[in-house]
Amino acid sequence: MVRSGRFFFALFSLFRSALSIGLLERPLVVGFFWGAATGEFTTSLYIAIFFELFWLDLIPAGTYIPPQLTAATFSALTLTTYFGLEQPSRIMPVLFASMPLAWIGTKVEGWLREREQGSYNSLLNWVRNPGTVHLPGVLILRSMTRSLFMSWISFLAAVLVLKQGFEIIFTLYPAIFSRLGVTWAYLWVAASLGGLMALRLKRAYVVLATGIILFSLFLLWPSILAWQPV
């Protein structure tokens, strides 16, 4: 038993330096696996780099719930693959539209944590008077099932709304984004401004959001003026 304990301690201690489970939700890892599944490595990794730069400083610590990186990244990858987008100019609105899903994911996770208060109280009562050895496992299974179901439903609903919206936009304005001339370098530079979010100040967030809106309008304005109804 002592030898087995030493072995498992040595094995799991590797997670401190060799592997971090938290890294599996990073956009670069998500983009890599999406590229491996779809064969679109270049576009998938470019999108992943954008989100990685934008949320580079956000690390979960204590009770702080960081933005749901996987929701925004998977949304952008899903819509890009569905519409067959390759030009950065056409992918750009998908990236910006997917960002609110990170905030929605945080709200869903916070709501789920509040729902677990009842399970916490049940566990405390069980510790004082253990009635069945199965209660902790039941609570964990219930929590995992609730989290899986709510995450799946909320993400599916959000992506379907974005899909429907972009279908309308791409049908009515097929070339509105193609003429922008935006490259991945522009998008990565814009994403690097996300470092302002590290200041944790609302004014910094307002400045960043305002800059993104003004920059998008500046790029879209020539296309809007030159647009003719189909």
Cβ atoms of 52 and 70 closer than 8 Å? no
Rg (CA), the chain: 22
For 2, half-sphere exposure in the C-beta direction (CA atoms, 13 angstrom radius) is 0
Instruction: Please report, rounded to a whole number, the percentage of residues in the chain having pLDDT higher than 90.
Output: 19
Instruction: Using alpha carbons, list the distances in angstroms from residue 80 to 14, 25, 27, 156.
Output: 37, 19, 15, 16
- pLDDT value of position 197: 61
Alpha helices in 55-176 (DSSP H): 69-83, 88-98, 100-115, 117-128, 135-172
> What is the per-residue pLDDT across 68-99, written as a single tens digit (0 to 9) for each?
888 899 999 999 999 999 899 899 999 999 98
pLDDT of residue 94: 93
Going by pLDDT thresholds of 50, 70 and 90, the confidence category of residue 1 is very low
Could you tell me the end-to-end alpha-carbon distance of the chain, in angstroms, rounded to an integer?
75
Residue 20 in this model has a pLDDT that exceeds 90: no
pTM: 0.73
In which band, very low, low, confident or very high, does the pLDDT at 64 lie, cut at 50, 70 and 90?
low
CA distance 50 to 75: 13
Are 123 and 135 in contact by the 8 Å Cβ rule? The answer is yes
pLDDT band for position 138 (50/70/90)?
Answer: confident
**Buried-exposed string 155-180: b where 16+ CB fall within 10 A, e elsewhere:** beebbeebeeebeeebeebeebbeeb
Given a cut of 50, whether residue 59 has pLDDT beyond it is: yes
Can you tell me the mean pLDDT for 93-109? 88
